[in-house]
Each structure stands twice: as structure tokens, then as C-alpha cells.
Chains A and B, each alone.
Chain A
Amino acid sequence: MTAAAFPPSPLAEGTSLMALSPKERMAIERQRMPEREPMVRNRDFREVNLGFEESVAKLEADRCLQCKDGKCIYGCPVGIDIPGFLELISAGDIKGAAVLLLEANSLPGITGRVCPQEEQCEKVCIRGKKGAPVAVGHLERYVADWARENLDMKTLLADPTGFRVAVVGSGPAGLTCAGELAKKGHDVTIFEALHQPGGVLCYGIPEFRLPNDIIDSEVGRLREMGVKIICNVVIGRTFTVDELLKEERFDAVFIANGAGLPIFMNIPGENLKGVYSANEYLTRSNLMRAYEFPNFDTPIIRGERVVVIGGGNVAMDAVRTAKRLGAKEATLVYRRSRAEMPARVEEVHHAEEEGIIFKLLCNPIRYLGDERGWVTGVECIQMELGEPDDSGRRRPVPVKGSEFVIECDVAIPAIGTRANPLLTSTTPALKTNKWGYIEADDKCATSMPGVYAGGDIIRGAATVILAMGDGKTAARNMHEWLLTQTPKSKS
């Protein structure tokens, strides 16, 4: 972690910023994120990216053309004033940058690491029309890491309103919503089903991408803001949503219980030993720390040859985890081509550097096993790209007679999730769509008054930042709605 010293702050002192000319800005090359050596880092779980030094951050921020009404702001699901915070970095006012950043995004240390910037802010960056876009994500991370060391958040809280809000789930949507509501002075309690807060940030995203201490500190910051977090409570089982409103007397509820049940492909051999859902594999390794077995009790099968199926971030996380758990061959099987991979570009790049084998245009048709019930291979079929499908991507079509076997001792489908019925099945008043996800409008309001929802439970599996965007939208609208009500504690 780069621990920056408190930088000089010319803006804060009223001195004017010596503006660079556009030409000077254009002359600066995009700064490279320092990374750990691929063949060293692929043996442990420590973070791959090392973070910018202060001088590098400033140089990178200088590349921003300071567009009026920057497109990047609209490219950001939480609407961060990107030119604003970059200008403050340029000026050396990191504190100012942090305050501005945190106004829009309560978890910048997380999004700076896991956002698909190339699909959002950096995609629309005008600087990127000639050369590379400004490294907004890396700068966000830089400021967030500085703020974690140096900034006291408590000062930003409004007076208590007397309203009590329950937040279901402590993943990115829940944490964001809780933070925003606490800032407005509401009394917020988060209910988390697992033993540790963080949701997918903890069980899903590996430490080499998002270290646990970042999550811990973000969670710690919420606690300092007065947010209560109660673990081991499964809403839908321990309490129902109705009980939260009636018996527990919460004024409003935000449901962010996340992606649900892992999808299997429904092909032969899926229940062989050694076949894991990506969720299980990652949960064992990340949340339960099976990579430290037997110092931690949870076991995991450490395959010599591991095959992961899928092309998203979860697939990348799983296959890179397999490598770190000692796989000699860690292979990613994806049915489309490289261009259609939904994973972040950086993850695909990191995976390649770390020696992951990519088998593209290739789809599993069955798992092979031995007489003891262990998986021994994945039979695949070669694919070719046909006409575009509903997603606009060219549909992969199997090539007849092209079947082949990849031998393996662990196989991990990472092909998505479907809605978890635990909460919705015990909350009949909550309207769901045909896939079982909760129906919510553009305010994140559900069919139940005072009940809002966001993140994967309204979208299906999406990204951390979209979940956070929902958390923020919900918080804003819940706040407005609450102001029209009388707190139950006072009635």
C-alpha cells in the first residue's frame, strides 16, 4: 500500500492553480500501474497492483483535459465529478480530492480496484481519442488509499432524524446505501447472513484483487458513522421483511441480498467430486481461507490441472485462484472469442501474464469421471461465431465432430447465478419478475411501501459499481420518502 504523506495544498491556501496547456497535457504518456512480477504473484494471494506514488498520480492527473461537463461523469454509475477530483490531485490537494470523491462514492478504495473503468469513465474519456484515456481508476484508488490513512469521515454526518432503516446484505449495494443513509442522519442496521460483512467483496473477489483490509476499513468507517452490522441473520429465515417493518419497527428496508444460486450447465457429470461452482470455490478460498488449510479448517481440492468455464470476472478470479493454489495447468474455457469476454481487460491481461491457458471458442459438453466419482476431464466442443444474438454478440455455434477432452482434476463452471428465493418466497407482497428477481423502479422502490431494493437481486449478476449505484439511488429516494413519514419510534 502506498502511504502518501500529507501533500501540500495550494488550492486550499487560495493560490491559483498553474494550469497546463492542453498541448502540455497531451504530451504526457499514461502512467503505468506498478504490478508485482507475474510469476511471483501467481503463487500467493497478495495484491497484484501496487498503487501510484504521489508524483506519478499527479502526473497522471495532469493528463486530464479538464473538459467542461466531462463525459466521464456520465460514464460513471455513481456520477463522480472526475475532472474535479483529478484537478485537485494535479494541484496537490489530495484531501480536497478525497472529500469530493467521497461525496459521490462512499467506497472508492473498492471501486478504484474492481470497476470496469474501460467500459465506463475511461471509455468515454476525450483524452483517449488520441492515445490512452486518463487512468481514472488508478487515481481513484490512489486518493482512496490516501483517505483511508488520513481522513476522518465522522465530521460529515447530519443530525439524527429518528428514522431507523434496515439494510439486508452487506455487499457493495448494502454498504453504499447504509453509508449514504447514515450521512443523512438515519439510524441504520445492516443484517448480514454470513459471519463476516462484505458480501461478494469478501466471499467472491479474491484478495489479490481486493485485499480484505480494504473491505475491513470501509466497513470500519461505516461503523464509526454509527451503522450497526449484525451478522448471522438471514432475512427470509431469521426475520422476514414484514417483521423488520412491524415487529422490529424499522421505518424502511433496503434489500440487497445479492446474486443467488450458482447456475450449472445441466450437462452430465456435474455432481462429480472436484466439480465446484465458482461461488463455492471462491467462497472456500476467500471467505473461509481454505488456501491456508490446515491452519484454517475449511478444505479445498487443490487441483494439478484445473479447468474454469466462463469469460467473466468471476471466471478470471477462479482460474487465477486455481493457479495460486498450485495448479500446474489452469485453463479457462470460453465459448466465444476474446473480444466478447465480459471480464475487465486488466483481469484478462493479468491472467495471461500469470500463465493461465485460454481455450477460446470452446464449450463443455460433459464432465468425465473415474470409478471413484472424481472428475478426470471436461469434454469440449469447438465453437465458431455465427449471427449476432440478443446480446448483440455473435452467437457461438458448435463445430460438428470437433469434440476433444481437457484432462483435469478440478472443474469450475463460472457461468452466472439465478435469483435466490430465500427472501422473496417469505415476502409475498414483494413483486418479482419471471426470473425471480425483485421488481424495482428507477428509484429502486419495490411494490412494498418503504421497501427498496438494489444490486444483483434486481439486476441479475452485474458489477460492484452498478450495485453501488443502486445503493446510492435507493438511499436518496429512501431519504426523500422518509421525510414524508413520522418515525415509528415517535409514533
Chain B
Amino acid sequence: MFKILDARSLASDVKWFKIEAPLVAKHREPGQFVIIRLQETGERIPLTMADADRKAGTIELIVKAVGKTTQELCRKNAGDTISDVMGPLGHPTEIIKCDHAVLVGGGVGTAVIYPLAKALQNEGCFVSAITGGRTRELVVLEEELKKVSDAVYATTDDGSYGFHGTVADKLKELMADKERPIGVIHCAGPVPMMRAIAELTRPTGIKTIVSLNPIMVDGTGMCGGCRVTIGNETKYACVDGPEFDGHQVDFAELADRLTAYRDQEQVSLERAAHACRLEAASS
């Protein structure tokens, strides 16, 4: 059992957790993920760690309540437990030294790029961070990013906060700044967003690293469920990734494979909602 030491809501359906997992914390590097299972009947899902404290033996996760498992997790609070936390998994992010590194996070994808800011700054990079969301509510970690980045831009698609436009629109602006050429871009978020960023930078050749989030089961390479096509080659995101050269990724396939269980997810969600209503009615 893994204990939740602290939890707080970042938005109506986004929550931050600090979890006691000393063995995971000890080796965790930016870019790595854990696989969690909430309880005996639960599924295994991958979540990228936003941070870790080796001395305290804790890891941090930022979770958006989307499916049944993430909704259930987001109802948990300090003192609650998680049955299984396995990791750290995947290759750590390769930190490339350059003059200007840009981090692009969409929604909770920002949790993936957030830990890179400090690592890149330590390498002497000027770090620009773009954190975006559909609307103001969904822009996360802006304050935290400000502490470890040289410039932070919040964007909203609906213009309710910060820059009015997508993260790609903002990146386009930064790319146009000839004073500060971009050496590397790290990007994490929904597939269409990562795809848009990769398409934007493709003609320029700017190295664009994306963190992929396919469906996984074991996370150790054993099942092959997380296979993605990278430059016409099949790779396993859990052991070969989760980060890949964005210009090589077959995003259309990734997006499609993510829909494989849409019907079952709906069944699970409806059942969970029903159980919730029953609980509410009986309490």
C-alpha cells in the first residue's frame, strides 16, 4: 500500500498528489513515469511524475479526472492509499544543452514538462515555458513554472486568460524571435496538440521531443500494448520511450489506438457514476 501524504485540487477536475513511494523516488529522473493500480479490481495506468523528493521518499503526480480510474484517484485525499505504485519507468528525459529551450505543456501535460525546467536551467539554458488549456480553469502549474523558468506564457483557446490562442500559436511567436533562436522543444499534452507542435517545427528542423501517452498494461515491455510507430519502426513507449522525436511519430495511429476502449470506458464511467449516486443517496 502506498500512502497519499498530501493532495490538493488544481482545477475542478485536476488534482495534485504527494505519495509516499521511497523506492520510486530514489531513482526517479525527470521524464519518467509510474504505473499505478488503485485497488484489487483496478486497472494499471501510467502517470508521469511531476516531481520527486529523494530524501523525503515522495513522488508527485498531477492527475486529470478523465476515465474511471483517474476519477476515482481524484476523489482520494491525504491519508488514503493506493494499492500499487511501480516505477520509475521509461527513459529519463535527455537534457540537451542549448541557449534557448522551450517547454510546451497542454493541460496536465504541463506536469510532464515542469520538472524539465529546472534541469534545463541547471544546464545553463534560457527556459521558456508555455502552459495552455482550453479555458482558464485548465491552465495548470503556471506559478510553479515561474519559479524555475526564465519566461512563462499561459495560453487559453477561448482567451479567458493569458494569451488568446493555442500553445502552438504562442510557440509560433517565440520561433519568430530571431534574437533568441530555439535549440530544443519539449512537448507534452493531448495528441492533437503534440501533433500540431511537431508539424509547426518540422520545416525548421528544431529538435522537438514529445512525451507519448499510449495505453499500457504492464509497463515493462512485456505486453506490447503501448506500441507506437516512430519513423516507420514499431517501438514500445514503456521501454523505448516515453519520449520520442516528434517529427518521427505517427500521431494519427497513436490517436486512433487511444480510442480502442472507448465503449468499455463508457460502461465503466456509467457504472462508477451510478455507484456514486447510490453512495450519495445512502449517506
Contact = CB atoms under 8 A, between A and B. Distances in A.
A261 B224 contact: yes
Contacts of A260: 221-222
B234 A297 contact: no
Contacts of A232: 84-86
Interface in A79-118: none
A34 interface: no
A420 B222 contact: yes
Interface in B237-283: 239, 253, 256-257, 259-261, 264-265, 267-268, 271
Contacts of A237: 27, 87-89
Classify the interface of chain A: helix, strand, loop or mixed. Answer: loop
A262 B41 contact: no
B41 to A, nearest CB: 5
A194 interface: yes
A231 interface: yes
A258 B69 CA distance: 29
Contact of A195 (B84, B253, B265): B84
Contacts of B23: 233, 238-239
Residue of A258, A288, A301 with most chain B CB atoms under a 10 A cut-off: A288
Interface string A300-311: 010000000000
A277 B85 CA distance: 24
A297 B88 CA distance: 23
A271 B23 CA distance: 34
A373 B261 CA distance: 13
B236 interface: yes
Interface string B170-206: 0000000000000000000000000000000000000
Interface in A289-306: 289, 293-299, 301
A283 B83 CA distance: 19
A373 B253 CA distance: 8
A261 B257 contact: no
Nearest to A423: B220
Given A277-B225, A280-B224, 13 more contacts: A194-B218, A195-B86, A203-B222, A234-B86, A239-B27, A261-B222, A271-B227, A271-B229, A271-B253, A283-B222, A301-B260, A421-B239, A422-B239
Interface of A: 193-195, 203, 231-234, 237-239, 258-262, 264, 266, 270-271, 273-274, 276-277, 279-280, 283-284, 288-289, 293-299, 301, 372-373, 420-422
The 5 closest A-B pairs by CB, nearest first: A299-B264, A280-B223, A297-B43, A232-B86, A373-B256
